Amino acid sequence: MRLLVLGGTRFLGRAVAAEAVTRGHEVVCAARGLAGDVPPGARLVKVDRDAPDGLAPLAGERFDAVVDVAPISYDWVSRALEALADRVGHWSFVSSVSAYADFGVPPTGVGDPLLPPRAEHGSRDTLGDDPDRYGSIKVASENAVLRAAGADRSFVVRAGLITGPGDESDRFGHWPARLARGGRVVVPDTDLRTQYVDVRDLAAWIVDAGEKGTTGVYDGIGPSGALLDLLSDVAEAVGGDVEFVRVPEERLAELRVAPWGGPRSLPLWLPATHRYMTARDAGPALAAGLTPRALVDAVAGALDRERELGLDRERKAGLSRAEEEEVLAALGGSAGE
């Protein structure tokens, strides 16, 4: 198979390219080449997707399959489709569960209401001003893929929380790193369900889809389970000697602990308005070939990534040691080592 990865130098795009190379496919990665190197065995074609003619270096080339991991730009997606759709056999687009309109109600499947499409170019610097903008751009991009490539050639994956080698979010990885340290650990007292997908498993499924011609729209995520059960399993996987200090959600808010991500947060915990964001039905994706690895392997990959970045670095998500000490002190305890 001749595969084009629009991206290929970081996280999921690089994992897709690496998986395809391992299987013996010819892999071309189209990227600026600024975020990192392509995997050994892949070929980099430098492009600038911000420019109207930025994909000109690919003119005349044909591919059996394309994988587009464009994060936040409708322009990138639409230009790629205009330039390449008639010369490609299969088109995979990585969307997001953020495309759904209401996470305050239980999900029923990929037919759930979506956010209104917004054919815009976003950036990591501006998305914080409008929390729905990312999802709306993904909806517009999905629509463009289905129009240009057609339902008989399109594979749309609404990914959930992706973890593993190359993860840049600090969310899932916070927990293996923290639980491996041991001691008294602040956790939310909640019945919230959560789920994730390892980047290597998602990449393998996407390459499978290109090989087999899999089509359709799927939630690309692993099975959901109780958050506190997951944390217990992670603690066991890393061998952490921990005591969970379960704190009511209202009390966490009083102590200025934020949900999900960002400074002074507890990753994977969600506010009531989003409690079903991590309770999507993984059944259709599993039936279509997504194969999650054992938790112990996913945790090992996340912990390796944490150690690679530095366990005591300034994080994008989670409580620092000092912040957790402060919270525990307010609760009448102290953090253990």
Contact at 8 Å (CB) between 294 and 124?
A: no
Indicate whether 105 and 245 sit together in one domain. Answer: no
pTM of the model: 0.95
Per-residue pLDDT of the chain (337 residues; tens, 9 = 90+): 999 999 999 999 999 999 999 999 999 999 998 888 999 999 999 999 999 999 999 999 999 999 999 888 999 999 999 999 999 999 999 999 999 999 999 999 999 999 999 998 766 555 566 879 999 999 999 999 999 999 999 999 999 999 999 998 999 999 999 999 999 999 999 999 999 999 999 999 999 999 999 999 999 999 999 999 999 999 999 999 999 999 999 999 999 999 999 999 999 999 999 999 999 999 999 999 999 999 999 999 999 999 999 998 999 999 999 999 999 999 985 444 4
The answer to the question of residue 93 being in a domain is yes
CATH code for the domain of 143: 3.40.50.720
Distance in angstroms (rounded) separating the CA atoms of residues 58 and 88: 12
Indicate whether 188 and 119 sit together in one domain. Answer: no
Indicate whether 186 and 262 sit together in one domain. Answer: yes
Indicate whether 20 and 137 sit together in one domain. Answer: yes
Instruction: Provide the number of structural domains found in the chain.
Output: 2
Q: Kindly give the interhelix angle for 171-181 and 227-238, rounded to the nearest 10 degrees.
A: 50
The answer to the question of residue 49 being in a domain is yes
Indicate whether 116 and 242 sit together in one domain. Answer: no
Indicate whether 114 and 231 sit together in one domain. Answer: no
The answer to the question of residue 202 being in a domain is no
Distance in angstroms (rounded) separating the CA atoms of residues 39 and 12: 12
Indicate whether 243 and 154 sit together in one domain. Answer: no
Q: Domain range holding 307?
A: 171-194+225-276+294-331
Indicate whether 147 and 271 sit together in one domain. Answer: no
Indicate whether 86 and 145 sit together in one domain. Answer: yes
Indicate whether 182 and 83 sit together in one domain. Answer: no
Indicate whether 119 and 189 sit together in one domain. Answer: no
Distance in angstroms (rounded) separating the CA atoms of residues 104 and 35: 36
